[in-house]
Structure 1
């Protein structure tokens, strides 16, 4: 894992001529080898990072559309330059938070906190706690409140950050003829865990860690579903956020094939994905419609693709588990209040040992393969009203509770998992049920 869970994308024009990443890629096999090398960095699992994304509202008027200037003023020295400088790199960061995390702002004004990569999960949680409190207090002083849902329950989707990358993304997704791209960019929020990929073989074999994260995905999507209301109205889905991802470009967002070598499957999917945008010095980053990176390798554009181009392309893929040298688990809704600690703690515990991993796989085996979109759509639509999903989710939470000590979870967090399970999962309920009851 890199030193931080934030991985800034690169623009080709910023690279010196001697940089090897500006070299043209000669063959598809060379591209696949590069992807395998940089996306799955093999080594003993020891690091963890958390990304906590939240929707932001005016404390007295949740329907109000925020401005970049107001967000920048509230965040102060932690604000990324993108909010204040029109020409700023969209990946540029403000000053670190008290425990070292950094803040980014998504196109719709969502504020995302990204911790450093920590050597213990307990340290990672403590840093996220400290920095989340700092951000929440700063926003509150400016009359802003942190949201508690995976999708905007009050306002329709809207983009407030004007950048060439985001404008190109918006036009790209609009070509598919639905509003999912605008919803994803402007109205969704998640809690994510990043972990080391694992070792080549042995107790923490990366292929088995990869398989576990995908196999448990639908049951955990159902357990932590927390986005049933969008723009004031119930959608009929427990996780509307997950529904948004299901409606996006499947070549960019689908779950990976877990039946074989993850590196080969991920490389194939990456090269078969369409180009999202092409960074350049103008304000139009649009890529030619329908052209995949593999097409580019075959000469579809007027210059050869370089390794820098491929590195940037990889940053535009959004599968449920993204390989970035480490594994970024992206499929869980943002949670209410401090319940954000529970999903990453559960995921961490399920990966702690071969024993917990095997138990997790056994728990979800009755659900069948985590095929995309089928299994994921079922979980997002039905939540724990589906008896099979309810049984699998309860088993996964029970495994996490039993394995909390061995996983090194702080006792307070272990108690929080138990409280969450007793309040929701073991009763066949999700956080979405609370929102639906309040709405009724």
Structure 2
């Protein structure tokens, strides 16, 4: 699993379309046996004593300054609205990944608790949309670009959090662990993961009518910035074409604000050379401004899962996804379970097709998604011992299957139940947890 760009093109030299296609294929798809696993866990940060109150920026800055001295194995970054993200190092096993991130999260929570703050696992900020915490030219340009399409971009930047599972691209050869199958599977299992782990039914203090409002935000942002390429044909070729046809977010400069062009694709930029010819550095940057549900970065980054409740809720989507992709038997079972769902895409790319929309709105109340989820979670549970998972991990997946998936529920249902009846006891669950 690697983020290295590869290639020998001078990063300061103008590119041709052929060079872009070659570079994207080399950067984004690195095939080979699946050996590594990673996870990126994003969290909202709330006041311990007043979770519905905005956290003052100076309190966040003080807490994050204290975290910089914490001995972490994971990379720690801050999102535009002040959300906190831990990105694991590539791990050789599920057990190694869970152990390393759990230890890091324990250290982070201890530092935040001293500052009167806590991590919160929800896909969207339920009470209010925070002001932008980070004031950088990248986020100025991103916000200006996304604002042209409506408010969804600002909500996404400032008020959303996720669990992103990172998997190796897979073998060059065909088969359950081949990269073409894994790319296809990631997009077909994606709606099942959206539905099963939906955990964002509120925004600005009100139910939105969606169980995964976070996924709805990505849909609203639009297919050019947040969509996937067609799944037919060679994945690296399809992705390279998508990258070329995607809109340029900004043209960076040494000084002053970055230019935010309107309706300029990277292909058009290469062809016209205006306002200046794009370079490999511009291409590398352009790749970071695209937010598909599955982002190829040398490995596959699955981005469709809402942040999960509880201190250890993130472990379940990590374990289930790893089992469905890295165990050949589970991968074949999941492939057969989700293949019939393809008929509901109506030929449209993820996540802008009816299947993904239904998953975000209704979760596992959708009968076909419920059926597929039960098969996938059961296959994952059977596979976990073969991947060396311990009883703590398998027990967490078993409990989730019993509590939610088998019953056609998801964590968002708990949030809404608690909102309707604040006195209702939901064991281990709170709106703020």
* 2:426 matched residue in structure 1: none
Distance verdict in 2 for CA 1:256–1:320, change over 3 Å: same
> How far apart are the structure 2 equivalents of 1:408 and 1:212?
23
What pairs up with 1:20-31 in 2 under 5 angstroms? Answer: 20-26=10-16, 28-31=17-20
Deviation at 1:212, TM superposition (A): 1.0
Q: Deviations over 1:45-69 (max 9, x none)?
A: 1111111100111112223333443
Match of 1:214 in 2: 187
The one-character-per-residue Cα deviations of 1:241-271 (angstroms, maximum 9, x if unpaired) are 0000000031111133222110011011111
Q: 1:282 aligns with which of 243, 250, 255?
A: 255
1:352 aligns with 2:304: no
Deviation at 1:385, TM superposition (A): 1.1
Judged with a 3 Å threshold, the aligned counterparts in structure 2 of structure 1 residues 67 and 166 are, in CA distance, closer, same or farther, namely farther
Separation in 2, partners of 1:151, 1:8: 31
Normalising by structure 1, we get a TM-score of 0.89
Give the aligned partner of residue 63 of structure 1: 52
2:67 matched to 1:78?
A: yes
Closer, same or farther in 2 for the Cα pair 1:156/1:302, shift >3 Å? closer
- Say whether 1:190 aligns with 2:162: yes
Give the equivalent residue in structure 2 for 1:181.
153
**In the comparison of the two structures, how many residue pairs are matched?**
410
Q: In 2, are the aligned partners of 1:192 and 1:329 still within 8 Å (CA)? A: yes
How far apart, in 2, do the equivalents of 1:360 and 1:394 lie? 10
Q: 1:367 aligns with which of 341, 347, 353?
A: 341
Q: In 2 relative to 1, CA 43–365 (structure 1 residues): closer, same or farther, beyond 3 Å?
A: closer
Alignment correspondent of 2:225: 252
Contact 1:173 1:249 in 2 (8 A): no
TM-score by length of 2: 0.91
Is the Cα–Cα contact under 8 Å of residues 4 and 27 in structure 2 kept in the other structure? no
Deviations 1:278-331 (A, max 9, x none): 232234123211101000011151322111111110111100010111111111
In the TM superposition, residue 76 of structure 1 has moved relative to its aligned partner by: 3.4
Matched position secondary structure for 1:393: helix
Unaligned runs of 5+ in 2: 421-433
The alpha carbon displacement at 1:8 in A equals 9.9
Q: Kindly state the Cα deviation for residue 19 of structure 1 after the two structures are TM-superposed.
A: 7.6
Q: Does 2:317 correspond to 1:343?
A: yes
Q: Tell me if the contact between 1:41 and 1:326 (Cα under 8 Å) persists in the aligned partners.
A: yes
Q: 1:439 to 1:31 in 2, by over 3 A?
A: same
User: What residue number does 2:121 align with?
Assistant: 148
- Find the counterpart in structure 1 of residue 84 from structure 2: 111
Partner of 1:34: 23
